[in-house]
Structure 1
């Protein structure tokens, strides 16, 4: 049984398929900046960042010192940038997720992006390639707060127009917010 199969069979993580293994499964491993053991360690940490080095080592049939050294090196090389808890915000609040396309005047795009990125309701903000457009994902407590946010967009200098799309169902949830 391979280590990967061992990972899929353990009681703690049955039915878990590592998203990193799937994502990088079609890439030539020789071009990745880490080896299979590093990838498996990252998979366990993505599944449960609280898992101890000893637990990971046992599951991978290696030593705790090897796991510790590998994790420290992945952090040093900034491949692993931190450890955090995933919180399902939908379990706590009845949040509404929106996606908003924002058309801007070209010379104002960066200033508008800076001001929007500072808003706590904004989860992510991207520039659309080749366009003076921003793509925003936001999380709001209710329709009233969405309307207030849209009203602030309408008053902001440099915004030409915007289109808000309210998410009604997630077919593949964002693991960071659970929606």
Structure 2
């Protein structure tokens, strides 16, 4: 599917506020609400728009730590880990990456004891490295049109 300039304007609106009404988007981009709805539906069908979500502050709901944990899987342990990681409640994002490590995870944890126990679960799969997140500098930055 071709993403024209109008579709990029719609995507910009939705990335800034996924709850924006089609009527408001239409006013901002200069087309009718039904036309906005039709374009959004086509982008959803083409999987350009892959869903809508609510971002929750882990700190406001009781988590004290956010961390990035990399895993360098032991020989033969990557595939089992790729299945197991889907079951961990602590993991909010997990990426398979290139380089010395195989995996990077973003995790939320109740406290240091919880971190220790979580790492204890991971070490059977490989070597881990942990970085504690101090602050969020860029948050859900908008994806822009290619030039």
**Equivalent of residue 97 in structure 2, options 99, 114, 128:** 128
Query: Over aligned residues, Cα RMSD in angstroms?
Result: 2.0
TM-score (norm: length of structure 1): 0.70
**Does structure 1 retain, via aligned residues, the 8 Å contact 2:94–2:104?**
yes
Residue in 2 aligned with 1:171? Answer: 137
Which structure's residues are more often helix, by fraction?
1
Q: What is aligned with 2:41?
A: 72
Q: Secondary structure at the match of 2:93?
A: strand
Number of the residue aligned with 1:105 = 74
Taking CA–CA contacts closer than 8 Å with sequence separation of 6 or more, which of the two structures ends up with the larger relative contact order? 2
Q: Which residue pairs with 1:90 in the alignment?
A: 59
Determine the structure 2 residue equivalent to 1:162: 128
Query: What is the aligned residue count?
Result: 141
Give the Cα–Cα distance (whole angstroms) in 1 for the partners of residues 135 and 34 of structure 2: 44
**Rg larger in 1 or in 2?**
1
1:53-81 CA-to-partner distances (Å, cap 9, x unmatched) read 11111122211121111011111111111
Q: Name 1:29's counterpart in structure 2.
A: none
**Match of residue 88 from structure 2:** 119
Question: Matched residues in 2 for 1:172 and 1:63: separation?
Answer: 33
Indicate the residue corresponding to 2:114 in structure 1. Answer: 145
Q: Which runs of 5+ in 2 are unaligned?
A: 142-147
Structure 1 stretch displaced more, 126-135 or 72-81: 126-135
Residues 128-152 of structure 1 show CA distances to partners (whole Å, capped at 9, x for unaligned) of 2255622121111111110110122
